[in-house]
Structure formats: structure tokens, C-alpha cells
Amino acid sequence: MSVKRTNKEIAKDTACLAGEALLTPGVSLLAQGKGKLGLAHVGVGLAAKLALGPAGMLFVAANSYCLSKTGQSLFTQFTTKKGAGDQSLREDVSQALDKGQPIEQVIESVIEDVEDIYHEKKSS
């Protein structure tokens, strides 16, 4: 599934990734206005850096970014079996709205999801 992204979205993602890696974990969550969750990642990131070094802090940063982009932690992403269409349509539209996507882009994305599910079911 390919979704066309604007330069503004790409710049925002780049800034969030840079903030996570270079400043402190939790930056992308704080940028979304998720203060408590962002601050929790800041604290855990600093503790992980003390306990495990930079690798620990980068793991927490990756979790923070993943959580801000998908709504799921890294652990959930890697332990939950997923197929095309596992997420509800309402959640997809809500996330697209949160990202500021125009309705045309949301509709295009939904159509691609429906096509993926159709071809997946047809081939099985």
C-alpha cells in the first residue's frame, strides 16, 4: 500500500526521528500533545541510557516513535500477528485525521486496504 505523503509530513517525521535519536526519547509523543506518555518515555529513556548505554536509550526512542506513528508499542508490533485489514476503518480514518491528511488521501488509502484484503482472501 503506497500513500502519497506531503513534504510537510516528511519534514515532521524527520524532525521527530531526529529529536528521538539526538535529543531524548519521547519527542514525537510530546509533539503530538501526549505529554504524560512523552514524559514517561523521557524518564525511561534516561534510565535505559544509565543502565544499558546508548543502545537502551535508542530502543526507548524507537518505541516512542513507533507508538506515536502507529498507536502501538514495538513489543505489540512484533508480537501481534497482523494481516491486511486488522485495524478498523474507524481507527484508520481517525489516525489519518490526526496526521492532517485530506479526505481524498484517506479514501485512496481505504480503497487500497480493501483491494489488499480482497486479493488476500481470493488467493487463499
For 66-88, the pLDDT digits (tens) are: 888 888 888 887 776 655 445 67
This prediction has a pTM of: 0.60
Residue 61: how many other CB atoms lie within 10 Å: 27
Same domain, 47 and 72: yes
Same domain, 10 and 62: yes
Instruction: Select the more confidently predicted residue: 89 or 99.
Output: 99
Same domain, 89 and 62: no
Residue 38 confidence (pLDDT) above 80: yes
Q: Looking at 1-15, 23-37, 38-52, 76-90, which range is the least confident one?
A: 76-90
What is the domain range of residue 61?
1-80
C-alpha cell at 3: 500513500
Same domain, 26 and 73: yes
* Tally of domains in the chain: 2
Same domain, 69 and 89: no
Same domain, 62 and 87: no
DSSP 86-103: -S-HHHHHHHHHHTT--H
Same domain, 67 and 91: no
pLDDT band at 3 (very low <50, low <70, confident <90, very high): low
